[in-house]
Structure 1
Amino acid sequence: MDTHTPPPAEAQGPHAEPRGPDLRHHGDAEVRDDGSALVDLAVNVRADTPPAWLREHVAASLGSLAAYPDGRAARAAVAARHGLPVERVLLTAGAAEAFVLLARALKVRRPVVVHPQFTEPEAALRDAGHTVDRVLLREADGFRLDPAAVPRDADLVVVGNPTNPTSVLHPAGVLASLARPGRTLVVDEAFMDAVPGEREALAGRTDVPGLVVLRSLTKTWGLAGLRIGYVLADPGTIGELERAQPLWPVSTPALAAAEACVAPRALAEAAHAAHRVAADRDRLVAGLAGFADAGLRVVAPAEGPFVLLRVPDGAAVRHRLRGLGYAVRRGDTFPGLGADWLRLAVRDRATTDGFLRALERAVR
């Protein structure tokens, strides 16, 4: 593993991004503003969502739009879902807002982001004027984290679990071992509800000092356009983040969705969906194994609702796939990866079979 320190902030300007990957590029750019009807394997939102019952529930909240949003019920519901007091919960406009709040509200000297992972945490830290160090996980290690690679004096550490884009699920014990006095440990669990049994989750833990867990409700439930997520942390940290939020940061429809998505019925549906996604992912990975002779390699074992693969001349393959009607996520915007890396969202059997046929044409 490598620890990489970017050029000094003064050489870049206080809010500049480092030279290299475009930290602001996200999967939606692969399908946005494209005149063709591409099959979307670039965005990690579960297909065919939100379900009808959730759309109806959100629609029913529209009659309350004249009143200011009241997040108390949704906050209590999230707290109950994780067995926590409400003082340990903060509702946010998606997990992305939480990264901005952390960057602006916490007084940190040496923030470290473990890469490859979702780039918004580093982008938010840089926008807030911080100089960010990177711990780059290596393909040779299966993109698995050795806690010893994280500098001991890092007072903010950000890591995803399961990690986007690698689909690696780090053991909870490994992540918890990163905690120490004076350090904030941020674990992005945006995709944890897509892991059967949510094994290795840290959400709900109160025995890990400085732990901050982020959750998103946009991935499993198809609510990216509604923007809803939450933070779980000690009451002091929650208070600091809350003071950095504007008034009424989460809309009434988003609050209604949050309350519904943590109810027992929804949790049971999400658990069923996680098993279905795992089966669909296994089929995709098995199909990709047929391209080993062409030099294609999949990061394994994949545990999230997406897989990361490396294929020779990946940029050209991605463009050929677009010509064949399939959008996939480019990997070169993630620190630690390059143009030969592609991320694929897990889809249903028919979509996967169609994609594999297109990949055969794109690769061969």
Structure 2
Amino acid sequence: MGTRLLRNAVAGLSTAFTAQRLQLAAKAAIAAGLAFLIAPLMPGAAANYPYYAPLGALVAMYHNVAGSVKQGLQALIGLAMGIGLAFVLVNVTDPSPVSVAVFMGIGVLLGGLPRLGSGSDWIPTAALLVLLVGGSNPDDFSFGYLIQMGVGVAVGIAVNFLIFPPLHFAAAAESLDELRAALGRQLTDMGAALKEEWPPEHEDWARRSDQLAGAARTVRHLVEEADASRRANPRRKLHPRDVDLDYRNLRELERVTFHIQDMTEVLSDVIWKDDVPYEVPFEDSAPLADAMIAAGKLLGSFQHEDLQEQRQLFGSAEAAVEHCSAAAAARKPAEGTVPASESILLSLHRILRAARPEPE
């Protein structure tokens, strides 16, 4: 128990102190300090509320430039709506437990408006701050609150734009390679299981279906993050990347993941369940295993970026699948059973279609 807690604590610290997180923290600190430095220079009553400028800088700090702009503007829109809601309450009735409750409920309802995003939380928050902190002078407080938050948001966006605006291309590329490798290992392990005496000794592959689906979702998230990080980013011209190609590769890998999950379920049912109406004929085991291992090696080869090797492995995998398909088609299935080989071969055909290397 103590070891697991320590391991979880170390993992949590590793996540908190990644290079990306440290860079974001440093920029947030710079933005907050600059905003607080500028805040007293604001006109009129706004200079009396300098502590809201660092808050605005933190609100706008996001791990990509486009996200900073979007999050900062959404916060300001929500803030303005909340201030307006507070003024309606002040002009309609005196603040009381009932009126405050009603208007906070209205603020939460308004937060459900589309495209408000993070600004939805600021509507009731801003309204409540105007009522509680503004006191007898809500006009000055509202003006200062909105101006200083705007200053902070502007500073936060500027700092994120000017100081090493992050590009998340490397994480996306690495995740695509890792998913290909994981899918290749899954095919190779299933092929090895077909060559073992049944039930096979190694069965961890049968429990990986959810892991593969989760890995595919993670890759999609990282590719979308890479796409978002290049928007409004001045560094994108210095570090060009074909994100559209990443999306195409992602869609192909998602299809491959689906087919491998299906193969995993079919093969595990054939091996460990007695009540399924399909089976893998003994004669198909060896050629089917060779085809799966060849397809697995093909997927693993994409990490090396050697197109010639990929084409050779594709040819080998295609030949192995065609050989197994021809043998299965020539044999008459046993009465009362459905050969699961056909389902697995169909999936292999589709995997090869998705994993075909670039032509010469």
- TM-score range with shorter-chain normalisation? under 0.3
Higher percent of residues as helix? 2
TM-score w.r.t. the length of structure 2 is 0.22
Greater RCO, 1 or 2 (C-alpha within 8 Å, sep 6+): 1
Higher percent of residues as strand? 1
TM-score w.r.t. the length of structure 1 is 0.21
